[in-house]
Amino acid sequence: MSDEKTQLIEAFYNFDGDYDGFVSVEEFRGILRDGLPMTEAEISEFFEAADPNNTGFIDYKAFAAMLYSVDES
């Protein structure tokens, strides 16, 4: 497994506090609020972009896609 993929998996599980395979909006907000200077509106916008079906959860695939899209911009 590549270092990049290992780091991505570790990042996902840092967000997935209950290790259920999904990052909830609450878990997402908690990590970002503690680690980045983002407003609630920015956090919501970021999450909604990764959760287009509005389920309230992001799986690993959506999480990876979100991070790669941020890295490319």
For the chain, which residues make up each domain, given as ranges?
3-72
H or E, element range at 44: helix 40-50
What is the Cβ-side half-sphere exposure of residue 55, based on CA atoms within 13 angstroms?
Answer: 11
The token pair at 66 is: 């979100």
State pLDDT tens for residues 19-54: 999 999 999 888 888 877 888 898 888 888 889 889
Task: Give the position of tokens 């287009």.
Answer: 52
Q: What topology is assigned to 3-72 in CATH?
A: Recoverin; domain 1 (1.10.238)
Residue 22's pLDDT is 96
What is the Cβ-side half-sphere exposure of residue 48, based on CA atoms within 13 angstroms?
Answer: 6
